[in-house]
């Protein structure tokens, strides 16, 4: 079971167990069905069930937690804009710590996924200012520092990003993702990987490109050096329109 699924299971169980017995709910089984769907990776189905429950129980005492679950489902399902809406609704009701910090953290992740690095940095900075005890166990130090560093890199602030990245446990869950980002000073775009002769011919078509050894007998063709991730994204879109559909951004 992934860490996300484990936290979801713990949270959903708490959601059901802390319900006040005197509260009359319409279709309370929707919460259990949503929990099962979420654990199975059916994030769209889980979101719909949570939303149906809230539509039928708008004043439910656990509405903050349910809205948070909706946001997490939307985020896991690759719908960051919808996740932000759900998190904003949850924040409106004034959640207490540590749930408030988890919501702010997940919302910052959603902003990062949308490409709004400035708002992501703002969110991660706010969460980072809270003590570990306030954040509880739902936001680990490693994931906070790693996500914060990623957002800083995307704004072009590589110095601050490196400082955050050095706070991540080098032997923890982010071990494999640290190496290519330590020492990161910019972004480039890999157009493709070819034989040496083909790579030289392809590079000749792209001004400012360069050929680098890749693996085995392959050589990669890379274009540009960009301080900001959004600058690299614009160049990537341009290259993809030119037919380089497999091009991607490298840290």
Q: What is the pLDDT of residues 27-48, one digit of tens each?
A: 999 999 999 999 999 999 999 9
- Give average pLDDT by consecutive 10-residue segment, the chain, 251 residues: 50 53 83 96 97 96 97 96 98 95 98 94 97 91 96 95 95 91 92 94 94 89 94 95 93 83
Distance CA 125, CA 11 (A): 25
Tell which CATH architecture fits domain 187-250: 2-Layer Sandwich (3.30)
| pLDDT score for 214 | 85
Closest CA to 84 of 111, 63, 65, 105: 111
Burial 116-151 (b: 16+ CB within 10 A, else e): bbebbbebbeebbebeeeebeebbbeebbbbbbbbb
Q: Which one is the CATH code of 3-178: 2.40.10.340, 1.10.1420.10, 1.25.40.10, 2.40.50.140?
A: 1.25.40.10
Among residues 170, 122, 111, 110, the alpha carbon closest in space to that of 146 is found at 170
- The pLDDT tens digits for 137-160 are 899 999 999 999 999 999 999 999
Is residue 74 within 8 Å of residue 82, measured between CB atoms? Answer: yes
Name the residue ranges covered by the structural domains of the chain. 3-178, 187-250
Q: What pLDDT was estimated at residue 201?
A: 95
pLDDT of 3: 52
Alpha helices (H) in the chain, listed in sequence order? 3-17, 29-39, 43-56, 63-76, 80-92, 99-114, 117-129, 132-135, 141-155, 158-165, 175-178, 196-204, 229-241
Give me the pLDDT at residue 215, please.
79
Instruction: State whether residue 195 is helix, strand or coil.
Output: coil
Structure tokens at 117: 């690095």
* Residue (of 28, 24, 77) closest to 52 by Cα position: 28
Note whether 225 and 188 are within 8 A (CB). Answer: yes
Residue that the structure tokens 């290259």 belong to? 239
Distances (CA, A) of 179 to 174, 182, 227: 9, 5, 19
* Residue 6, pLDDT score: 46
How distant, in Å, are the alpha carbons of 113, 180, 223 from that of 193? Answer: 27, 19, 13
Q: Which pTM value belongs to this model?
A: 0.81
10 Å CB burial of residue 2 (0-12, 13-18, 19+) is exposed
């Amino acid at each position: 079971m992934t860490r996300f699924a484990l936290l979801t299971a713990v949270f959903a169980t708490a959601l059901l167990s802390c319900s006040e017995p005197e509260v009359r709910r319409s279709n309370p089984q929707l919460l259990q069905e949503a929990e099962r769907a979420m654990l199975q990776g059916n994030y769209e189905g889980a979101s719909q069930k949570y939303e149906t429950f809230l539509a039928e129980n708008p004043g439910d005492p656990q509405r903050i937690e349910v809205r948070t679950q909706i946001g997490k489902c939307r985020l896991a399902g690759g719908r960051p804009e919808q996740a932000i809406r759900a998190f904003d609704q949850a924040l409106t009701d004034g959640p207490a710590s540590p749930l408030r910090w988890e919501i702010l953290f997940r919302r910052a992740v959603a902003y990062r996924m949308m490409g709004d690095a400035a708002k992501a940095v703002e969110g991660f900075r706010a969460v980072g200012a809270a003590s570990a005890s306030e954040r509880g166990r739902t936001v680990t130090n490693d994931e906070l520092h790693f996500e914060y560093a990623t957002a800083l890199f995307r704004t072009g602030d590589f110095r601050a990003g490196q400082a955050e990245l050095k706070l991540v446990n080098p032997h923890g869950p982010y071990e494999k993702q640290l190496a290519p980002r330590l020492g990161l000073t910019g972004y480039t775009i890999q157009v493709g990987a070819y034989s040496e002769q083909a790579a030289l011919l392809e590079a000749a078509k792209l001004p400012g490109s360069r050929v680098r050894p890749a693996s085995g007998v392959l050589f990669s063709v890379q274009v540009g050096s960009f301080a900001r991730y959004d600058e690299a994204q614009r160049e990537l879109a341009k290259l993809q329109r030119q037919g380089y559909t497999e091009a991607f951004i490298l840290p």
